[in-house]
Amino acid sequence: MNRPPAEPSRFCSGGNRNFPCPVLALDFDGVLCDSARETGITGWKAAATLWEDMAEPLPPQSLLESYCRVRPVIETGYEAIAMMRLLKDGEDPEELLDTFPHRLYEAVARSGTDTAGLKRLYGAVRDRWLRENPQEWLSLSPLYPGTSHVLNGLPAGTGCYIVTTKQERFVARLLDHQGVHFDAEHIFGLDRGMTKEAVVRRLMAHHPGDPIHLIEDRLATLKRFLARPDLAAVRLHMACWGYNTQAERREAMGLKIHLLKALSLPEILNTEYHSDR
């Protein structure tokens, strides 16, 4: 059964709670922020502390371009350390798009530490970079064009949250740098140790009866939501401008996930939503 499109004009004017208020759960990297180059370089800098043959301060340009190609398979920042190791070894980026989830374990094992250790290392390297050269760090993670305008111009009553695998302090710093006014309490990052599903369940409990829109660029994450009957009411949008491939966008369409072409509130709210999945 399809629901009729939402009517934005009915939402929440003047904080009127007689009508449902839309709630946006926004991923950060690949939805709001184009951070591919920054995550790749942080991965390289972290790898430099583990492997002697990666000692240069920056990766070769061609390797960084390869990293941007394989970015769709990176879920959490620390994985960039493993990806940079594999690319430095001469692995084919096109093959890594398919094989990285398996190769990740092998690369983590070679690092001499574990996943938790690599996460700490990745965060520490990023903290040091941000401390020593904030302008360079901030310039490598621009928000997508128009993002600040959308976030600063949301109608009163719209719930807006960031649900990300990035650490919250980095998200807050980037938004502040771009002049986005965002409640720090509404940023749910890696630090909380919660899955995105758990965060969205909390939002559902906090906003009973309100439509929740998840805007996410990663197909694997969207599919996790599809697999959970208790999250069936969450309206799923794939950010086409983010880190996904054409094949993934095709697959998403087949799964009745809405393909969102731009971060546009009217497009998000007016999408005909299929609840028969």
Interacting residues with Mg ion (CB under 5 A): 27, 29-30, 217
CB 68 within 8 A of CB 36: yes
CB 191 within 8 A of CB 168: yes
Q: Which is nearer to Mg ion, 38 or 217 (CB)?
A: 217
Question: Could you tell me the smallest distance in angstroms from the CB atom of residue 242 to Mg ion?
Answer: 6
CB 8 within 8 A of CB 265: yes
Q: Which is nearer to Mg ion, 22 or 30 (CB)?
A: 30
Distance between CA atoms of 226 and 232, rounded to whole angstroms?
7
* 131 Cβ contact partners less than 8 Å away, ≥ 6 residues apart: none
Question: Could you tell me the smallest distance in angstroms from the CB atom of residue 145 to Mg ion?
Answer: 17
Q: Which is nearer to Mg ion, 27 or 38 (CB)?
A: 27
Neighbour order of strands in the sheet with 23-26: 187-188, 159-163, 23-26, 212-216, 235-239, 258-260
Question: Could you tell me the smallest distance in angstroms from the CB atom of residue 187 to Mg ion?
Answer: 14
Q: Which is nearer to Mg ion, 86 or 162 (CB)?
A: 162
Question: Could you tell me the smallest distance in angstroms from the CB atom of residue 240 to Mg ion?
Answer: 12
Q: Which is nearer to Mg ion, 178 or 244 (CB)?
A: 244
Collapsed DSSP state (helix, strand, coil) of residue 135: helix
Question: Could you tell me the smallest distance in angstroms from the CB atom of residue 164 to Mg ion?
Answer: 7
